[in-house]
Structure 1
Amino acid sequence: MPKSPRKRALTSPHDALFQWTFSQREHAIGLLKAALPPEVVAAVRWSTLRIEKGSFVDRALRSRHSDLVLSARMGAGRIYFYTIIEHQRDVEALMVFRMGLYMMRLWERLTRERPGLKMLPPIMPVLIHHSDTGWTAARAFQDIIAVEGPERAALLPHIPRFEVRLIDVSGGRAGDLVEQALTALGKVVLWCLSVCGDDERLEREIGRIAAALDEVLQAPDGLAALEALLRYLVATHERLSVRKIGGILEKAAGPRAQEAVVTALDDIERRGERRGRAQGRAQTLLELLAARFGEVPAEVSARILAADEATLVTWTARVLTAPTPEDVLGDDGQRASPARRSVARKRARGT
């Protein structure tokens, strides 16, 4: 089982699969080697690649964009790779502008962490895109600046200039990508992203990744990878049953995949049952809190909805005696101030 990738709130199935896969160095190196210019690939010391902490995507956009920051030695310094996966129906016309914002935030963080920095390290922006139409917007920042005629040439030296490396998986095969540099799991993941929500293509084109899928299953972490893939496909192909999707993968990978698919499906279904019970307990607890205290604070509600079943059982037992909603969470939550506790006690007594 591979080490868990850096912890962060996952906001979409695309984010979950992307982070799980490419937060592992082997697969991240394969992706970057496949996406970057040959001159850069040759200059980077790939043995020094590391996953950087933090996300620069606006919270409101995390259902559509997921980012991953990596860095490696190149020459005397480090180069940073700012990678975004963008999954939405339409192409965002100013996506290159948004990429620029995120790159600036990364540079800003680097200057805060190293106050004596005299020069900025290079950042290579990589965009993995999927939409109904495929990429139709500008790749270069200077191409979204609205100025024409002879004055454009005079202004260009004063306009930021950069171009994103684009991996457009919308059409099935990613363009501008050296596929042989990808790991087997990297190939399968990009293909799964490309058929997101298209049940017919999932069944029709599964043979395209049969060899890669078989290689994934033979790896030491093959079962974990298969479970991650199944979870993504189940989440993005809602009209197909879990068993149907498992059968599609099993057929593509051959007889050796049968046991792995069955094991992964059983685990997914067991976890789904546990998650269903936990969601039911969480809803009951929220209703009890609302009946006793009135409106439940947002931070308390968020922690309850994210808790496991055993924790919810403990918290539910405290509802009748805890003086505030925060105290229901006990030492697991933030303790309420004495003033808030006094108000809560009066409210609970109806005074």
Structure 2
Amino acid sequence: MPKSPRKRALTSPHDALFQWTFSQREHAIGLLKAALPPEVVAAVRWSTLRIEKGSFVDRALRSRHSDMVLSARMGAGRIYFYTIIEHQRDVEALMVFRMGLYMMRLWERITRERPGLTELPPIMPVLIHHSDTGWTAARAFQDIVAIEGPERAALLPHIPHFELRLVDVSGGRAGDVVEEALTALGKVVLWCLSVSGDDARLEREIGRIAAALDEVLQAPNGLAALEALLRYLVATHERLSVQKIGGILEKAAGPRAQEAVVTALDEIERRGRAQGRAEGRAQGRAQGRAQGRAQTLLELLAARFGEVPAEVSARILAADEATLVTWTARVLTAPTPEDVLGDDGRRASPARRPAARKRARRT
């Protein structure tokens, strides 16, 4: 199974499928050739395409969109392709503004890594969008800047000018692209993105990609691709069982797909069981560490204060490991067992401490 050339935390099934597919040069080249202006396609030396490291999306927004940066030789320099895939089902009015921010961050990194530059390389912004309505917001940055009246013409030259290159997969078909340039897997992935969460459309429109799906299965890494597709469909169609989704794919691709689907489903289930066992072992180790820390804390409290009150003991035995670490650090300075735990996990308030210290001295 091919490994993705980039290792990064994946925030959603959309991101996982997109990164797995288009981090492979063959499919990335197909996507870009399908989305870019013919003049750019003709000028780029596609044999030099590479996947760049790094992400520029704000951490707080990674549940809504993720990015991929690619570059290739064009003329005497390189051109960068900054691609964003949206995870949301609605249209973000200021998406072109966010794209501008990310492009500036990419240019900033380029100039930091190459301090002798006197000119910036071009960046082509590409947006992969899917929603119930299709793209309805502005594509050009200058169109979201509020200027009206006769002064607009005078101000526009002083405002950043760029336009998104849009791949709108809403409605089951990729708009604004040359579909013939896509690889078979690229076509299937864009279609899967377009029907995510819509069970009826998945079943009704699967025939659109039957030929492409059959071609995917015939490829050398067809089983790996099918597993990636199944994982995505299972994650985005939660009301359908794994077997139901496998049956839908079998029906679309014909008899050739049956063995491949069964094999892929077996692999998904095997990995799921292995992950469950690993998570169980990790949880068991964490519980064991917490129990050990709880016992140590109880022994320290008993050594310093004598018998530990039942309510304090109960809270300690129910606490997680991080809380127990905090409480253990207080044993040497807290005046009473209750002050070790504090109020809702915090130290007792100053107003309580004098009285508590008096009780501790009397004992």
Q: TM-score, normalised by structure 2?
A: 0.76
CA contact (8 A) 2:323 2:345 kept: no
Cα deviation, residue 172, structure 1: 1.0
1:49–1:71: 8 Å Cα contact kept in structure 2? yes
State the shift of 1:133 in Å. Answer: 1.4
Give the SS at the match of 2:235.
Answer: helix
Confirm or deny: 8 A CA contact 2:139 2:163 kept in the other structure: yes
Name whichever of 236-245 and 270-279 sits farther off. Answer: 270-279
Q: Is the 8 A contact 2:71 2:80 kept in 1?
A: yes
CA shift, 1:87, in A, is 2.2
1:4 Cα offset (Å): 2.3
Partner Cα separation in structure 1 for residue 164 and residue 328 of structure 2: 50
The answer for unaligned runs of 5 or more in structure 1 is none
Change (3 A) 1:333 1:314: closer
Structure 2 CA distance for partners of 1:4 and 1:310, relative to 1, 3 Å: farther
Deviation at 1:2, TM superposition (A): 1.8
Match of 2:75? Answer: 75
2:87 is the counterpart of 1:107: no
300-309 vs 112-121, which deviates more?
A: 300-309
Alignment partners' CA distance in 2, 1:191 and 1:298: 61
| Structure with greater Cα Rg | 2
Q: What are the Cα deviations for residues 154-176 of structure 1, in whole angstroms up to 9, with x where unaligned?
A: 00100000000001111111111
Q: Percent identity?
A: 93
Instruction: Give the 3-state SS of the residue equivalent to 1:220 in structure 2.
Output: coil
Q: State whether residues 65 and 86 of structure 1, in contact with CA within 8 Å, keep that contact through their aligned partners in structure 2.
A: yes
- After superposition, the C-alpha distances for 1:277-314 in whole angstroms (9 at most, x for unaligned) are 99999999999999999999999999999999999999
SS at match of 2:249: helix
User: Which SS does the other structure have where 1:292 is aligned?
Assistant: helix
Q: Distance in 2 between matches of 1:28 and 1:180?
A: 14
Partner of 1:306: 318
**Residues 324, 336 of structure 1: 8 Å contact kept:** no
State the secondary structure of the residue aligned to 1:150: coil
1:8 CA drift (Å) = 0.3
Distance in 2 (alpha carbons) for counterparts of 1:181 and 1:296: 73
- For the aligned residue pairs, the C-alpha RMSD in angstroms reads 8.7
In 2: Cα distance, 1:188 partner to 1:297 partner: 64
1:326–1:335 CA contact under 8 A, matched in 2? no
The offset of 1:5, in angstroms, is 3.0
Structure 1 Cα separation of the partners of residues 66 and 314 of structure 2: 21
Change (3 A) 1:8 1:149: same
Change over 3 Å in CA distance of 1:326–1:257 after alignment to 2 = farther
Give the direction of change, closer, same or farther, for the CA distance of 1:247–1:112 in structure 2 (3 Å limit): same
Contact kept, 8 Å, 2:340 with 2:347, in 1: the verdict is no
Q: Is the 8 A contact 2:69 2:81 kept in 1?
A: yes
- With over 3 angstroms needed to count, the CA separation of the structure-2 counterparts of 1:169 and 1:147, relative to structure 1, is same
Q: Is the alpha carbon distance of 1:28 and 1:293 closer, same or farther for their aligned partners in structure 2, counting shifts above 3 Å?
A: farther
Contact persistence 1:230–1:246 (CA under 8 A): yes
Question: SS of the residue aligned with 2:54?
Answer: coil
CA–CA distance in 2 between the matches of 1:62 and 1:262?
33
When residues 287 and 164 of structure 1 are mapped into structure 2, their CA distance, relative to the original with a 3 A threshold, is farther
SS at match of 1:120: coil
Q: Distance in 2 between matches of 1:133 and 1:197?
A: 15
* Aligned-residue offset at 1:3: 3.0
Structure 2: distance between partners of 1:291 and 1:136: 70
- Aligned counterparts of 2:67 and 2:317: Cα–Cα separation in 1: 25
Gaps in structure 2 of 5+ consecutive residues: 272-283
The TM-score, its normalising length taken from structure 1, stands at: 0.79
Answer yes or no: is the 8 Å Cα contact 1:33–1:182 preserved in 2: yes
Shift in alpha-carbon separation, 1:257–1:108, aligned structure 2, 3 A: same
Residue-by-residue CA offset, 1:47-83 (whole Å, 9 max, x unaligned): 0000000000000111110100000000000000000
1:293–1:344 contact (8 Å) kept in structure 2: no
Q: Specify whether residues 45 and 315 from structure 1 end up closer, same or farther in structure 2 by C-alpha distance, changes over 3 A only.
A: farther
Which stretch of structure 1 is more off in the superposition, 15-24 or 329-338?
329-338
> Are 1:77 and 1:121, in contact at CA under 8 Å, matched by a contact in 2?
yes
Deviating more after overlay: 137-146 vs 80-89: 80-89
How far apart are residue 29 of structure 1 and its match?
A: 0.1
Aligned partners of 1:47, 1:208: CA distance in 2, in Å? 31
Residues 9 and 318 (structure 1), Cα distance of their counterparts in 2 relative to 1, 3 Å cut: farther
Aligned residue runs from structure 1 range 85-124, under 5 A: 85-124=85-124
How far apart are the structure 2 equivalents of 1:296 and 1:164?
66
